[in-house]
Structure 1
Amino acid sequence: MTDDRSELDRLVPKWHFREIHRIPVAGSTDDVMRAVYATTWAEAPVARALIALTRADVSAERRIVSDYLKESGEVIPSGGEEFLFAAVQSMEDIPRPPGTISEIIRDCPGPGILKIGMNVRYARGILSTETRIFATDDRARRRFAPYWLFIRFGSGATRKSMLRAIRDRVLREAPAA
């Protein structure tokens, strides 16, 4: 029996906020994951427009995963079928605890911290993205909840646009039969 847990399950096993999106994609794991790392903002216009509102650099040629996300947090090596991203945010006016982001997520129980994990995974013909956020205390959870409600629609539209762009790239690059 294989272990169907994702690396995200290991990084953020419990959460207070969660979002999942899935799309079927026909292709090999190598082809799909290559597309995950190669897809650019130009290929995901809805995602590009929504992220541009944050004033992030979403130049057409920039790759979504390889360029943008690597600048926003820590990319954690996770193997062939999953891209894993982690970030930590303080909800209080306190300095970030010492250590790498993955160490803070694993070891820091301190108050006022949001532990954030996101993946892009391809398993059994389904390309998915999941985001999990764990607040280390009730105050941080209550302070983050209104923001989560506000961004949820845009975040979902961004993820769906990204998944469609990856799928379309896989289809474009598939060898002719």
Structure 2
Amino acid sequence: MSLIEQYLPDYGFREVHSCVIMAKPSVVLHAAAAYQPETDPFFRKMIGLRELPMRIGARISDKQTEVVLPFGLHNFTLLEQRDDALVYGLIGRFWRPDFGLVPVSDGQAYRQFNKAGVAKLALVFSAASQGENITRLETETRVFCPDLASRLKFTPYWYLIRPVSGLIRSRILKSIKQDSENS
């Protein structure tokens, strides 16, 4: 059973991207674990655009004193790391301007969480050896909406962000590839 299957076997939305990297799987996963999407100017611009309604709302309601860091990998919880994969989890109402995030402490809390109207997202990086110093890195994202109401709210959001999300994933893989092959 794959690592993502252990955390989110049921899902309604899925996106997969991969690349081949000239490095050992351990080097590739180390680079994946160290990657910070916030260092990518495209990511920062797209997250800034995504967060614009939230920031305008804060300005209008005079809540600018509540400084919120831009969305990034720090919002995710590392659920588990193995020699061949690492999986992150995120729980929330992603369609809301503030993402409606629900903090989760670890993999067990993530698995046990089950609340109507709140979606669960799992993001995995898997590294598979394809030969000596050749690794296939795959990133997979799954989203589970527990009820019709959350599916109806998440679906248009998914189709709106999916093209940009795909571009971001491709850029993440390219960066991990460069870091892995240059180390």
Moved more, 127-136 or 95-104: 95-104
Calculate the aligned-residue CA RMSD, in Å: 3.0
Is residue 145–residue 151 contact of structure 2 (8 Å, CA) maintained in 1?
yes
- Give the Å deviation of 1:50: 2.7
What amino acid is the match of 2:18?
Answer: R
Match of 2:77 in 1: 74
Pick the aligned partner of 1:117 from 122, 125, 144: 122
Output the TM-score relative to the length of structure 1.
Answer: 0.75
For residues 92 and 46 of structure 1, the distance between their equivalents in structure 2, rounded to whole angstroms, comes to 21
Alignment of 1:141-152 (within 5 A): 141-152=151-162
SS in structure 2 of the partner of residue 151 of structure 1 = helix
Output the TM-score relative to the length of structure 2.
Answer: 0.73
Moved more, 147-156 or 108-117: 108-117
- Structure 2 gaps of 5+ residues are 52-68, 130-134
Alignment of 1:1-177 (within 5 A): 5-41=1-37, 44-54=40-50, 57=70, 68-69=72-73, 71-90=74-93, 100=105, 102-124=107-129, 125-173=135-183
For residues 97 and 54 of structure 1, the distance between their equivalents in structure 2, rounded to whole angstroms, comes to 19
What amino acid is the match of 2:136?
Answer: I
What amino acid is the match of 1:135?
Answer: C
Using a 3 Å threshold, how does the CA distance of structure 1 residues 171 and 97 change in structure 2: closer, same or farther? closer
Using a 3 Å threshold, how does the CA distance of structure 1 residues 44 and 113 change in structure 2: closer, same or farther? same
- Structure 1 gaps of 5+ residues are 59-67
Give identity over the alignment, percent: 24
Aligned residues: 158
